Amino acid sequence: MGKGNSPVHTPTQKRLDPNILHLPVEKMRKGYYADKYFNRTKEILEKDNYRPVVTMQVFQKNEAVLCGIDEAIAILKLCAGTLDSKGNFTSGWDRLTVRALHDGDRLEPLETVMTIEGDYSLFCHLETDYLGVLARRTKVATNTRRVVDAAQGKPVLFFPARFDHHLVQTGDGYAAYISGAPGVSTDAQGEWWGSEGLGTMPHGLIAAYGGDTVLATRKFEEIIDPSVKVISLVDFDNDCVATSLAVARALGKKLWGVRLDTSGTLVDRSVLDQMGLFLPTGVIPQLVWKVRKALDSEGFTWVKIVASGGFNFKKITDFEKRKVPVDVYAVGSSLFEGNFDFTADRPCISGKTFRASWSGRNSISSEISDSGLCGSSSFGRIFRNPVTRYHAFPCWPWVMCSRSPKALAFR
């Protein structure tokens, strides 16, 4: 995935407006989504009138692309505080000091992404919520960035919507966007940054027209807004070469591209004569080469090839190494693989040094403020004794070293 801490895709350093996230604020304030022991912790602290001031440190253990940090801050901004016996909420946000990196920042293992300083009883019930959004969005952002890098500048379409619950689409689409894949498949995925879904055509449309790919593509071209590129799905008959040529002959310059989506359990007729020389199933280099050669031989050099079906970091890397003439990759379920679990540790409580659960943890300074200015423009990394698992260190402020980009305000 590459070294360094440069941002991946940050058109601006402005934080997401909490209002566009549509958070279930009332339920979060009540701890509805919290692990029960956090709610009981809040109840104990409030009834005991004990208000320990903590410095919370949030981190994870992999090289990654950070995402979900603006959601995490929004959760704290809108939901930290107290509820009285009548259900009236008093915000505690102005009594917290929050410092955070930005969505799109590259992370090293154990690097701190956010610190929260303040009365623990105000936000202890939110830990499950903000760690969860960080884990989900960072996983999607990291996987997306890996395939974007592997594609070496070719567009990557973000097409995994059907492989998970619909309610995760908005944040997942944003994670793809900040990772360099703004071509999403649903309107929900583009909501947070003002875009809409893209789309070629499904097998269902071709089936609805009796399996006639040319007819289905003609209807697409006739009826859909002309600003939408016409990309024909050409594997319905399991003969991508013949179908690509048929569609190109019928539509001419109106055809922008063809999409190859052969199932990983099928062998396209175009490569039957080469059986025994390679694994023949799915969208393979030999199939792409044959389609490209056939199109070019009849003068359809402008027709692009979109490849989908089973693509991941490894497969795209192999295609690019072999210079397979794919113009666009569409990637699905592989973008949801892996785990990027975040942890929140309390190394400093009520002004006393405490512990760090892991040596080598990093610290940051980028204060979130109402004024729109940073409390500090520097970021830092602390390397603690690698032998000692529990190692006391001074409370905030910690020693800083240079780290960019500068974080802008949110609060």
The tens place of each residue's pLDDT in the chain, 411 residues long, gives 443 333 444 444 789 999 999 999 999 999 999 999 999 999 999 999 999 999 999 999 999 999 999 999 999 999 999 999 999 999 999 999 999 999 999 999 999 999 999 999 999 999 999 999 999 999 999 999 999 999 999 999 999 888 999 999 999 999 999 999 999 989 999 999 889 998 889 999 999 999 999 999 999 999 999 999 999 999 999 999 999 999 999 999 999 999 999 999 999 999 998 888 888 999 999 999 999 999 999 999 999 999 999 999 999 999 999 999 999 999 988 999 989 999 998 777 766 665 544 433 344 444 454 322 223 323 333 322 222 222 222 333 322 222 332 332 332
What's the pLDDT score for residue 346? Answer: 74
CATH topology of domain 150-336: TIM Barrel (3.20.20)
Amino acid code (one letter) for 272? L
The CA-CA-CA angle for residues 56, 57, 58, to 5°, reads: 120
Identify the bridge partners of residue 304 per DSSP, sorted by sequence position: 257
Cα dist. 261→102, 272, 309 in Å? 36, 17, 5
Cα dist. 368→98, 100, 191, 393, 397 in Å? 6, 7, 24, 24, 15
SS3 267: strand
Are the C-beta atoms of residues 73 and 368 closer than 8 Å to each other?
yes
Contacts (Cβ under 8 Å, ≥6 apart) of 64: 106, 107, 138, 141, 142, 340
Which helix H or strand E contains 380, and what residues bound it? Answer: strand 379-380
| Residue in this structure with the two tokens 């960035």, named with its chain if needed | 145
CATH topology of domain 18-139+339-380: nicotinate phosphoribosyltransferase (3.20.140)
Contacts (Cβ under 8 Å, ≥6 apart) of 27: 33
Amino acid code (one letter) for 186? T
Dihedral in degrees, nearest 10, Cα atoms 173, 139, 76, 400:
-120
Entry pTM: 0.82
- Distance CA(281)–CA(325), nearest Å, equals 18
Cβ atoms within 10 Å, residue 199: 16
List the beta strands (DSSP E) in 6-96: 53-59, 64-65, 81-83, 89-91
Are the C-beta atoms of residues 309 and 263 closer than 8 Å to each other?
yes
Amino acid code (one letter) for 53? V
Helix 240-251 with 285-297: angle, nearest 10 deg = 30
Q: Which two tokens stand for residue 268?
A: 């396209």
**What are the residue ranges of CATH 3.20.140.10 in the chain?**
18-139+339-380
- Distance CA(228)–CA(178), nearest Å, equals 23
Q: Which two tokens stand for residue 74?
A: 């929004």
- Distance CA(41)–CA(27), nearest Å, equals 17
Pairing of strands 352-353, 343-349: antiparallel
Identify the bridge partners of residue 233 per DSSP, sorted by sequence position: 259
Are the C-beta atoms of residues 244 and 295 closer than 8 Å to each other?
yes
| Residue in this structure with the two tokens 């070496």, named with its chain if needed | 152
What's the pLDDT score for residue 353? Answer: 63
- Distance CA(112)–CA(59), nearest Å, equals 5
Amino acid code (one letter) for 52? P
- Distance CA(174)–CA(251), nearest Å, equals 35
- Distance CA(353)–CA(180), nearest Å, equals 41
What's the pLDDT score for residue 193? Answer: 87
Q: Which two tokens stand for residue 82?
A: 């107290």
The CA-CA-CA angle for residues 371, 380, 54, to 5°, reads: 65
- Distance CA(3)–CA(89), nearest Å, equals 44
H helices within 118-202, ranges in order?
Answer: 127-150, 169-178, 187-190
